Structure 1
Amino acid sequence: MLLQTVTPITVLGTTLLFALFLSVTAHLAARNVLGDVNPRRALYVGPLPAVIGIVGGAFSVSGALLVPAALLVDGAMFAWSYDQPRRVVIAMTAIHAVITTLLTIVLFGVTVLLGTMPG
């Protein structure tokens, strides 16, 4: 059995990768709703929901509290970054949640398939 150690570097790396993933999916959601947008704006959206997810997971916070909190912060970051009306922000947040969920499922499936590859 492989012993896994949690260090500050591994936590930081995981948080940064998760923030980057959420920023990429935020950009996809913003493009879906607004059309051509500056990709740098999406970099503001990903970090806070990623920190909420990592910290909440570390402290075993219930998903019933963690998911709404992350979605509220996600919406607030979309509103701050893109300066759009509330209805547009809600649409971007919903699409962001769907894109993130679907892409996560696909990436997890690919990981499982690669893990079962012979040889």
Structure 2
Amino acid sequence: MVVPLQTTVGSPVAIAGTVGLFALFLSVTAHIAARNVLGDVAIRNAFGVGPLPAGIAVLSTTFGVSAALALPLALAADAALIKYLYDRPWRLTLYVVAIHLVVTIILGALVFSLLALWQSAPG
């Protein structure tokens, strides 16, 4: 029996590193979003938010699940974790999730653009 993770290019360590870095990135953007909406919050809460959406993203890509299904699932997991960890009303939780999505898109585009610029530099 062949499991899709066995057919991907890269070792299990590389896959785990990708999930870990993406979880760290999502945790940092979650903390930025929570600080902007809620004010002074503990950073340890943000480290609980990042891993589940990162795992959903990597598994959905691995198994070929449509982004139209994976994105709402990741956002729902994000909302549930933010609601549980920060203990805020649903309306405020959804606002934090929306800001988290925006911050993630903006910071992700910035990091990707800087990496693409760095790789295309002469020399």
Q: What is the TM-score of this pair, normalised by structure 2?
A: 0.92
Partner Cα distance (1:81, 1:21) in 2? 18
Per-residue displacement from partner, 1:30-68 (whole Å, max 9, x unpaired)? 001100000001011000000000101111111100111
Distance 2:71 2:104 in 1: 13
Unaligned runs of 5+ in 2: 1-7
Inter-partner Cα distance in structure 2 for 1:30 and 1:66 = 23
Q: CA deviation at 1:5?
A: 4.0
The ranges of structure 1 where at least 4 consecutive aligned residues each deviate by more than 2 angstroms after the TM superposition are none
* Of 66, 72, 77, the match for 1:73: 77
**Match in the other structure for 1:13:** 17
What is the TM-score when the length of structure 1 is the normalising length?
A: 0.95
Partner of 1:88: 92
What SS does the aligned partner of 2:49 have?
Answer: coil
Across the aligned residues of Structure 1 and Structure 2, the Cα RMSD in angstroms comes to 1.0
Is residue 2:46 matched to residue 1:42? yes
Aligned to 1:30: 34
Aligned residues: 116
2:55 to 51, 56, 80: 51
Post-superposition offset of 1:70: 0.4
Structure-2 separation of matches of 1:81 and 1:44:
8
Structure 1 residue runs of 5 or longer lacking an equivalent are none
Residue identity opposite 2:115 in structure 1: T
